[in-house]
C-alpha cells in the first residue's frame, strides 16, 4: 500500500513538473513569436527605406545632370560651350599636357600629384596650369577629399573635345603626350 501511495505521489509530481515545463515552453514560444514578428516588421521597414533611398538617388542623379547643364550654359561670360567653340583657347604646351592627363583619366578624379607625375612636373606648377586652364574657360571640377584636392575634366566638355576637337589639339601633341 505504501508503494502504491509513493507511486501515485511520483506520478502526480511528474505531471506537475510536466505541466510547469509545458507552460514555460509555451511562454518561450510566445516570446519567440513576438521577436519574429518584430524582426519581420523591421525587415519590411528596412526594405521600404532602401527602395525610397534608391528612388532618391535616381532623382539626385537627374538633378545633378541638370545642374551640370546649367553650369555649363551659365559660364562667367554667359556663353554656352557651343558658343565658345569658335573661341580660341590658346593653351601652352604644358597646359595641353595637363589637359591631356585629365582628358585620358578613366572616369575618376586625379590629385595634383598624379597629374604632376603624368606631365613630369612639380605639383606647384600643375596647380598653376590648372588655374590657368580654368581661367581660359576649360570646365574643370575640383573636389576636396580628405583635405586633398581632386580634379577632373567636365564630362560634357570631354565629349565635346572628342567630337569636335575644341582645343585644336594636333596629332603631334597627342602623340608626344602618349
Helices 123-135, 93-104: inter-axial angle, 10-degree rounding: 90
Q: Which of 147, 170, 151 is nearest to 98 (CA)?
A: 151
Give the residues of the chain that fall short of pLDDT 70: 1-8, 10, 74-88, 170-178
Q: What is the pTM of this model?
A: 0.51
Residues 6+ away with beta carbon under 8 Å from 90: 136
Closest by CA position to 75, among listed 154, 162, 16: 154
Fold category of 88-177 in CATH: Arc Repressor Mutant, subunit A (1.10.10)
Amino acid at each position: 500500500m505504501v508503494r502504491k501511495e509513493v507511486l501515485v505521489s511520483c506520478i502526480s509530481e511528474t505531471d506537475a513538473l510536466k505541466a510547469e515545463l509545458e507552460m514555460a515552453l509555451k511562454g518561450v514560444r510566445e516570446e519567440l513569436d513576438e521577436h519574429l514578428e518584430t524582426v519581420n516588421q523591421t525587415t519590411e521597414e528596412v526594405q521600404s527605406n532602401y527602395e525610397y533611398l534608391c528612388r532618391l538617388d535616381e532623382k539626385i542623379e537627374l538633378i545633378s545632370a541638370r545642374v551640370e547643364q546649367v553650369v555649363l550654359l551659365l559660364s562667367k561670360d554667359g556663353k554656352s560651350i557651343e558658343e565658345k567653340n569658335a573661341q580660341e583657347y590658346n593653351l601652352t604646351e604644358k597646359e595641353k599636357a595637363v589637359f591631356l592627363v585629365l582628358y585620358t583619366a578613366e572616369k575618376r578624379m586625379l590629385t595634383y600629384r598624379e597629374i604632376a607625375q603624368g606631365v613630369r612636373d612639380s605639383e606647384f606648377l600643375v596647380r598653376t596650369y590648372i588655374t590657368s586652364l580654368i581661367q581660359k574657360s576649360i570646365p574643370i571640377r575640383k573636389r576636396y577629399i580628405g583635405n586633398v584636392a581632386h580634379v577632373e575634366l567636365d564630362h560634357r566638355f570631354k565629349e565635346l573635345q572628342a567630337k569636335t576637337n575644341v582645343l585644336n589639339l594636333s596629332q603631334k601633341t597627342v602623340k608626344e603626350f602618349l
